[in-house]
Chains A and B, each alone.
Chain A
């Protein structure tokens, strides 16, 4: 009874405001939280502590979106998904968005009907081997046993790479990163292959990380980013421009330290003003509040801060910015203008 009254009131409210369709944005607002599909556990990118609090590079994107939409970075519920379950979870509406180091590919975009909202990490598939094997190039891996996480683009890249180089290998398909680690450490496989960031994350958890090397070959392009379902363009735009806000904030020098100062009054830079909502009406165009970008950035800082906190050079992962630097620093990060 109570529920139906609530729905009735909600439907009336929705009609009064004049929404054409009950999209994901309305669902999220009605629920009061964002349901975000994430990795089951990958150091630096998505990890849950003993109390069930999630943290990490991919998690930060979820929190930024929650902050932009609901004004509260904590209003997120996380659904851990495996490589196999992630697309089903998103397509069925079980999660509102997926932020789970997922590679943007043609068939996922076009055939599986997802919309990639951008790229938050430029990655590529690499190989990790124990140092004592004395291997210095992936081309020396003829006949090696290779552990692969199944259900990813990894196994397809691997098949291509070995076919092109005309060398043989023995693939060992494995369901999760943890099992792959166990097999690799027991030397049941000679090589572990996955995205280079994933390799760094895995190696960081080893007892002696220095005994393992990541080979120089990067055999694929793996642009990782958050994605949403096809068909709800407004929601796609929200996720896309939240991510862009984080990237643009770094470029414009907005940090978690100076954001309250920058958003309290108009600054001399009009683009910052438009982002902060002190000028123009970008937030309303998205169907959000004027300060959506401010909330998103305040949630965990700009892109650079998030990168340094979770995966940067001072973390166990020790990843350098590389391709993930701003375009002004020779990287590939390039947010379209907020205008």
Chain B
């Protein structure tokens, strides 16, 4: 007891900041923080001073200037008379499209491959192993270039479809054309359109929303809602009586009939691609660059996701599966009802980072000439305006926002599936 030091008497002395353990860590942290901020300030100040000295002040007014270049794939209306800001928006949408398609495909393929790698079938399990090791261990840029190279060298050119005895022909009742420039598929058209609603007309952010699409989505939503009600009713009856009423056809009708009615009302039909002049015209054109990136990025990421899924499944104790099988539940339902729901909480957190990786890897798009945000804002806009710092800063900001948004959404989902702890 006597060894306990007496409380310091008297006022605060500056030496206490270093010698008193109560303050020392605060002192060190404060000094480190000041040093860090000084370093950042120096970097920023140095950049600004040098920019000023070279006669290029930091400024973003170039964004409102006319871009002057065309972009092949534009999800919103765009031409060379639009501003650089509009061109950047088109680029962002192309990035998002690629990221979305990639993430969805990678997840589906990844889950299948991950599950199949655990299959008892020797051949299937080995094939999946080979696939995973092949894709995981070769840089994704090479995969993109390989897929793209194979597409442009092996697929027929649009010219091959011409003539009386063409070297290539369209597939699926003349509705799909696969060429080395991309794939043309039928597009949805409406003979009795309801019209469009324009948002922010005349600004760089303008966009139109097709009312047919809105009506279709509302009908689909209503159908899904009704189907949910039917399911809950069936659950209730099952809980009360033990008998589950047959609902599958009612639910199918709910989900399918309403949207189909809307489509018929609007006069839905397909527009088929046709060979006209140099290229196919009409239909939806999926460019070779988009397909190459989509395939390469999703197959590459799927290999990682497959491993995560496998790890997640193996993390669930074998007893769970055995108990489920002992209850007479089929292996397929055991997987979907018992194992996967529990595995998800192991799977989701690393899955998020692979979605982020895929999104960031999409910036390799310029290698095959896909006009994503790196191709528009950080590519042609940078070149035309010569604003390196500004464009790179903007692109960093855009990728940061996209990644943080994906994280936020996935974290919400993770909170829903994770183990509830008390």
Hey, which bits of chain A sit against chain B, CB under 8 A?
A: 83-84, 87-88, 91, 107-108, 111-113, 133, 141-145, 150-152, 155-156, 158-160, 162-163, 169-175, 182-183, 186-188, 190, 230
Please state if B281 and A173 are interface contacts (CB–CB under 8 Å): no
Given that A83-B383, A143-B279, A163-B80 are contacting pairs, would A171 and B180 also be in contact in the complex, using a CB cutoff of 8 Å?
A: no
Residues of B within 8 A of A186 (CB): 152-153, 157, 180
In the complex, residue of chain B having the shortest beta-carbon distance to the beta carbon of A153: B384
Q: Pick the contact of B380 from A113, A163, A173, A182 — CB < 8 Å?
A: A173
Residues of B within 8 A of A172 (CB): 72, 289, 369
B277: Cβ under 8 A from any A Cβ: yes
Please state if B68 and A230 are interface contacts (CB–CB under 8 Å): no
Please state if A187 and B380 are interface contacts (CB–CB under 8 Å): no
In the complex, residue of chain A having the shortest beta-carbon distance to the beta carbon of B180: A188
For the complex, give the distance between the alpha carbons of A175 and B159 in Å. 26
Residues of A within 8 A of B153 (CB): 186
Q: Pick the contact of B386 from A87, A144, A145 — CB < 8 Å?
A: A87
- Kindly name the residue among B289, B371, B383, B385 whose own CB sees the greatest number of chain A CB atoms within 10 A: B383
- Kindly name the residue among A156, A159, A188, A190 whose own CB sees the greatest number of chain B CB atoms within 10 A: A188
* Mask: chain B, 160-201; 1 = CB below 8 Å from A; 0 = not: 000000000000000000001100000000000000000000
B335: Cβ under 8 A from any A Cβ: no
Residues of B within 8 A of A155 (CB): 69-70, 380
Interface size class of B (residues with CB under 8 A): 35 or more
In the complex, residue of chain A having the shortest beta-carbon distance to the beta carbon of B376: A173
Q: Pick the contact of A152 from B71, B81, B281, B383 — CB < 8 Å?
A: B383
Q: Pick the contact of A150 from B181, B288, B289, B369 — CB < 8 Å?
A: B369
- Kindly name the residue among B79, B153, B276 whose own CB sees the greatest number of chain A CB atoms within 10 A: B153
Residues of A within 8 A of B277 (CB): 142-144
Residues of A within 8 A of B149 (CB): 182
Please state if B70 and A175 are interface contacts (CB–CB under 8 Å): no
For the complex, give the distance between the alpha carbons of A144 and B273 in Å. 16
Please state if B276 and A143 are interface contacts (CB–CB under 8 Å): yes
Please state if A113 and B80 are interface contacts (CB–CB under 8 Å): no
Please state if A145 and B278 are interface contacts (CB–CB under 8 Å): yes
For the complex, give the distance between the alpha carbons of A187 and B278 in Å. 11
Please state if B55 and A145 are interface contacts (CB–CB under 8 Å): no
Please state if A190 and B278 are interface contacts (CB–CB under 8 Å): yes
Residues of A within 8 A of B281 (CB): 143
Q: How far is the CB of B54 from chain A (nearest CB, A)?
A: 7
Apart from the given pairs A141-B278, A159-B69, 11 other A-B contacts in the complex at a CB distance below 8 Å: A84-B382, A84-B383, A143-B276, A156-B68, A156-B80, A170-B72, A171-B69, A171-B72, A172-B289, A173-B379, A186-B153
B366: Cβ under 8 A from any A Cβ: yes
Given that A113-B54, A113-B56, A170-B72 are contacting pairs, would A151 and B379 also be in contact in the complex, using a CB cutoff of 8 Å?
A: yes
For the complex, give the distance between the alpha carbons of A111 and B55 in Å. 9
Q: List 15 A-B contacts (CB under 8 A).
A: A107-B384, A107-B386, A113-B54, A143-B277, A144-B277, A145-B279, A156-B68, A159-B80, A171-B72, A173-B369, A173-B371, A174-B369, A183-B152, A187-B159, A188-B181
For the complex, give the distance between the alpha carbons of A182 and B152 in Å. 9
Within 8 A of A (CB), among B350-390: 366-367, 369, 371, 375, 379-380, 382-386, 388
For the complex, give the distance between the alpha carbons of A133 and B79 in Å. 28
For the complex, give the distance between the alpha carbons of A158 and B70 in Å. 9
Q: Pick the contact of B70 from A84, A108, A112, A159 — CB < 8 Å?
A: A159
Residues of B within 8 A of A83 (CB): 383
Residues of A within 8 A of B382 (CB): 84
Residues of A within 8 A of B68 (CB): 156, 159-160
Please state if A173 and B383 are interface contacts (CB–CB under 8 Å): no
For the complex, give the distance between the alpha carbons of A145 and B288 in Å. 12
Residues of A within 8 A of B375 (CB): 150, 173
Residues of B within 8 A of A151 (CB): 379-380, 383
For the complex, give the distance between the alpha carbons of A142 and B278 in Å. 8
For the complex, give the distance between the alpha carbons of A171 and B181 in Å. 12
In the complex, residue of chain B having the shortest beta-carbon distance to the beta carbon of A91: B54
Please state if A171 and B56 are interface contacts (CB–CB under 8 Å): no
Q: How far is the CB of B411 from chain A (nearest CB, A)?
A: 36
Residues of A within 8 A of B159 (CB): 187
Given that A144-B278, A159-B68 are contacting pairs, would A230 and B55 also be in contact in the complex, using a CB cutoff of 8 Å?
A: yes
Within 8 A of A (CB), among B239-287: 276-279, 281
Q: How far is the CB of B289 from chain A (nearest CB, A)?
A: 8
Please state if A113 and B70 are interface contacts (CB–CB under 8 Å): no
In the complex, residue of chain B having the shortest beta-carbon distance to the beta carbon of A135: B278
Q: How far is the CB of B231 from chain A (nearest CB, A)?
A: 47
Q: How far is the CB of B382 from chain A (nearest CB, A)?
A: 7
Residues of B within 8 A of A141 (CB): 278
For the complex, give the distance between the alpha carbons of A88 and B375 in Å. 17
For the complex, give the distance between the alpha carbons of A83 and B384 in Å. 11
Residues of B within 8 A of A87 (CB): 383, 386
In the complex, residue of chain B having the shortest beta-carbon distance to the beta carbon of A172: B369
- Kindly name the residue among A141, A163, A174, A187 whose own CB sees the greatest number of chain B CB atoms within 10 A: A187
Residues of A within 8 A of B388 (CB): 88
Please state if A175 and B366 are interface contacts (CB–CB under 8 Å): yes
Residues of B within 8 A of A160 (CB): 68, 80
- Kindly name the residue among B181, B288, B382 whose own CB sees the greatest number of chain A CB atoms within 10 A: B181
Residues of B within 8 A of A112 (CB): 386
Q: How far is the CB of A144 from chain B (nearest CB, A)?
A: 4
Residues of A within 8 A of B276 (CB): 143
Residues of B within 8 A of A188 (CB): 152, 157, 180-181, 288
Residues of A within 8 A of B369 (CB): 150, 172-175
Residues of A within 8 A of B288 (CB): 188
For the complex, give the distance between the alpha carbons of A183 and B157 in Å. 11
In the complex, residue of chain B having the shortest beta-carbon distance to the beta carbon of A132: B159
Please state if B379 and A84 are interface contacts (CB–CB under 8 Å): yes
Q: How far is the CB of A228 from chain B (nearest CB, A)?
A: 14
- Kindly name the residue among A143, A155, A163, A173 whose own CB sees the greatest number of chain B CB atoms within 10 A: A173
Q: Pick the contact of B180 from A158, A169, A187 — CB < 8 Å?
A: A187
Q: How far is the CB of B190 from chain A (nearest CB, A)?
A: 23
Within 8 A of A (CB), among B143-159: 149, 152-153, 157, 159
Given that A150-B375, A172-B72 are contacting pairs, would A187 and B383 also be in contact in the complex, using a CB cutoff of 8 Å?
A: no
